Structures are given as structure tokens and as C-alpha cells.
Amino acid sequence: MALGTAMDWRGGLDAGDLSAEALVRQSLERIRSRDGQLHAVLATDASRSLALAREADRRLREGERTPVLGLPVVLKDNLAWTGLPATCGSRMLEGHQAAYDATVVSRLLAAGAIPVAKANMDEFAMGSSGEYSAFGPTLNPWDPARVPGGSSSGPIVAVAAGYAPLALGSDTGGSVRLPASFCNVTALRPTYGVLSRYGLTAMASSLDQVGPVGTTAADVAAALQVMAGPDPRDSTSVDLPRTGALFPLQPADLKGKRIGLPVEYWGPGLAPEVREVLEAALDQLAALGADLVEVSLPHTRYAIDTYYLVCTSEVSSNLSRFDGVRYGYRAPDQGLDLADLISETRDRGFGPEAKRRILLGTFCLSRGWYEAFYLRALQARTLITRNFQEAFRSVDLLATPVSPVTAFPLGAKTGDPLSMYLADVFTVTTSLAAVPCLSVPAGFAGGLPVGLQLIAPALADVALLKAAHAFQLATAHHLTTPPLPS
Ligand code: GLN
């Protein structure tokens, strides 16, 4: 079986030419033969996945149809799937098993998708390269000497390397879009609230979103359809208008659509070889009839500072629950009192990036500094959000690079946290503004993938996916697969 898109496989399953069991066996076999090199996967439960596959085959034989029935899916290890490890890439949760299903997981299961693996990630979703997992880095299938991007390194590589046609990552400041750009897959960050965060281990709660990943926008849309919608267990969840139009996804007619190019994103910081690829993609959008117009998002220059103040503040609060008392790792108890046991546990359990953020965030929220840092960051966040609202008064979509560079070599940024943070320069703004955005494959520079970011107004996720679908019907970059060990 070729790699295939989820929608190709959908057709085969519905026609009875393919079985879910065969697809799941293929997934497990590819993980077995390829993951020794790539290290995208942290855990599998083959017998459970095969039992779910046989159940999906029974439902298919009985004539049931859903957008994802019988399709294998890989889950980032910060999403709960009952009984499987949920380590979040951290020693702190080594050996911890989920006691319930995340809402997105239970909705996928109800629709008949089959989880086949829990996937590697930067510790607690902090990172841009996939190198901050306590269990070792994930490698880029296009060049194993390079990073795949993070923090959803495992889910993205799982799709890029053909382990599964679909995966779920999470995106706080770019964590599905950046690796999608580095590995040539399609990944969506929905409008904040469209996907429930129940069962997604919190990093920065006002920014975290689950992000569906696939080969195409149509595949991503199919997964989104079965997961979207309000959840009583997540008070920030919202209803997505026009969810019915997600499957089967029809392409947008781009004729006369206005696509804004924010000048702040297309400046001199962009590597020339990346610019060349992206300009060809813009020409393609113009050939489809879109009007490309310059716009400005003037507060973009505050985005990285704002994001890393808001994010670390929320991290310091969210990660306070890891105390070695209730669950997860506990330091050896050598007659320590409770306070020392907690601090010893946190010292040994968290990696350097988690500690850095807890310290920064605690400082930002501390008395005397709160107004100077956290409160100002919230004010800047409002200005950044207003920039987008203003831009969307005159354009339907925005188009930007996902990253100023292609996948960088392993180790290139691990010694310099600030340069790692700067990798997110084009992705954190939309997270702060809570608007939907996606990364689509746009071509190759020096043999490495380059992603184009498309951005839509809040709750226009369907229109965004339709526009990406139109682009993908006119291009074939997303169908190019990496050289893989057989
Ligand atoms: N790289 C960004 C960070 O480290 C984004 C991470 C994410 O989206 N989870 O915070």
C-alpha cells in the first residue's frame, strides 16, 4: 500500500477494497521498521488497536459511514487515552497512565478512528525543535541530521513517515504548524475553543489548542468534523459554524478573494531560499484568481515578548500540580519533609526548559513585577488581536511564512534558548489573537520542505480549510514523501 491520503483510504474502506485491520497492521509495521531511526513514537498497544480495527470493520460491513471510520490516528503524548502512558515527554510523568479519554480522543473513537500510538514531544509541549523530550529527540525524515520541529514532533513525523494518515498534536504558539512546515504535512490550529481541551495536559491554558494533522487539508477537515463542537467539560469550548461543510470538503473559489500579505512577515529576516519558494506559492494563489494585497500588523514586533510572558506565567501556574504527591514521579524519600520532597521531586523530574519557564513565569507573576510584565503582556496581546481584526476588515485571508528558515540541524539552538524562542516569530501572533491558521506544504528549498501559513478570521476555520484545499488541488508539494527506510 502506498502512503495515501486519509481520503484515498476512506474511499477504499467504504468500497470494501481495504480493511481497517490491514491499515492498522501496516501502521504498526511501519512504526516497527522506521521508528528505530526517527523516534516519533513513545508507546503502542497493538492488541488494543487491532481489536478496535476489527470493530471498525464490523461497523463498515454493517453499512455505517463516518469521515474517519477505520482510519489509524497517532496521538501526541499530552492527550489522554485511557490506560496508555501520558508522559508529556517528561520524566515527571514517566510511567503515568491516563485514567480517562480526552474529549477529542473519545469523539474520534466514537466515530471509529483507531489510535495506534502515543507520540513523542518536547517536554510539556515547550519547544520548537522536538529535542526537549526527556526520552530523546525525534528526527526529521527528510534529513535525520535535522530537527523535525516541535513541540508536536512525534505526531507530525508519524504522518510524514506514513505511520498513520492522521494525527493529533497541540499548538500553543506554533507547535503543529512549525513541524508541519519542516516535514511537509498539513496541520491546522483551529480557532481557540473549537476543540475541547479536556484531557489535553495544560501548558498555557489561554493559548493551548489541539491541532489535527494530515497529508491534506481535506484529511484534516474530516478529522475536525468529528471532534469539533462544544464540550461541557471545557468552559472555553465554542460551536464551529458550518461544521457540516468539512466533509467531504469542497475547494473554495479563490476568484476575487482578497489575501493580505502582512509586511512585517515578508521582511529581510526571511531566508532568500524560503522566500523564493513562498513567492511561487503566492503566484499560484494569484493564478487561482486571488487578489494579493499588502497589509500591516504593526504590533507584530511585540509578539515574541508577549507570548513568552503570557506562556511562562501560565506554565508556572499549570505545572504547580506536579508535586510528586498526587501522581507521577516522586524523588526517593530519604526522610525528607514534605516541602523538601516537593522541591527535590520538581528538581529531578523537570527538564531544563520546564524549569526555565516555571522560574520566568513565577517572576512575571510576582508582587511588584506583575504589572510591569504580565499585565503589560496582556495589554500587548489586546493590541495584537486588534491588528488582526483591523486587517480582516479588508481581506478574507492572510498569507505568511510559517518559519523564516527550513529545518535546522540537530543541536543548532539547544544551547541558546532565545534563538529557540525566535523560531516561533511567525506563529505566536495568531495564537495570541485566537484566530485559526494552518500550514500547507508550499515546495522545497535545498531539498527541505517549506510551509505557507494561511490565516482566517476567528471561527472561519471552514473557509480556511477550503482555501487550502483549493491550493492543494492546484499543487502537488504535499504528495511528495521523504526518502524512508523500507
Ligand atoms: N515553541 C513554542 C513554545 O515553546 C510553541 C510551543 C507549542 O505550541 N506548544 O512555547
The CATH number of whichever domain residue 201 belongs to comes to 3.90.1300.10
151 lines ligand 1 (CB under 6 A): yes
pLDDT score recorded for residue 486? 60
Report which ligand 1 atom has the smallest distance to the Cα of 311: 10
Q: Is the overall model pTM greater than 0.85, yes or no?
A: yes
Q: Are 314 and 205 in contact (CB under 8 A)?
A: yes
171 lines ligand 1 (CB under 6 A): yes
pLDDT score recorded for residue 227? 98
> Has 19 been annotated as catalytic?
no
Helix residue spans in 319-395 (DSSP H): 338-349, 352-364, 376-391
pLDDT in tens, 59-70: 999 999 999 999
Question: What gap in Å lies between CA 8 and CA 171, rounded to an integer?
Answer: 27
* Residue to mutate, 122, 210, 307, ligand 1, most ligand atoms under 8 Å from C-beta: 122
126 lines ligand 1 (CB under 6 A): yes
The rounded Å distance from CA 134 to ligand 1 centre is 16
pLDDT in tens, 265-314: 999 999 999 999 999 999 999 999 999 999 999 999 999 999 999 999 99
pLDDT score recorded for residue 103? 98
304 lines ligand 1 (CB under 6 A): no
The rounded Å distance from CA 429 to ligand 1 centre is 12
Q: Are 138 and 130 in contact (CB under 8 A)?
A: yes
pLDDT score recorded for residue 1? 44
- In degrees and rounded to multiples of 5, residue 437 shows phi and psi of -155, 155
C-alpha of 248 from chain center: 22
Question: In total, how many domains does the chain have?
Answer: 1
pLDDT averaged over every residue in the chain: 97
pLDDT in tens, 119-174: 999 999 999 999 999 999 999 999 999 999 999 999 999 999 999 999 999 999 99
The rounded Å distance from CA 340 to ligand 1 centre is 30
Question: What gap in Å lies between CA 125 and CA 354, rounded to an integer?
Answer: 9
Question: What gap in Å lies between CA 305 and CA 197, rounded to an integer?
Answer: 25
Percent of the chain, pLDDT > 70? Answer: 99
Residue 7's H or E segment, with its range, is helix 6-15
Owning domain of residue 281: 1-486
Question: What gap in Å lies between CA 166 and CA 161, rounded to an integer?
Answer: 11
Mean pLDDT, rounded, for 389-409: 98
> Has 90 been annotated as catalytic?
no
Neighbouring C-beta atoms of residue 460, cutoff 10 Å: 21
> Has 175 been annotated as catalytic?
yes
Sheet holding 437-445, edge to edge: 41-43, 114-119, 72-76, 166-171, 209-214, 186-189, 437-445, 448-455, 397-401, 258-262, 291-295
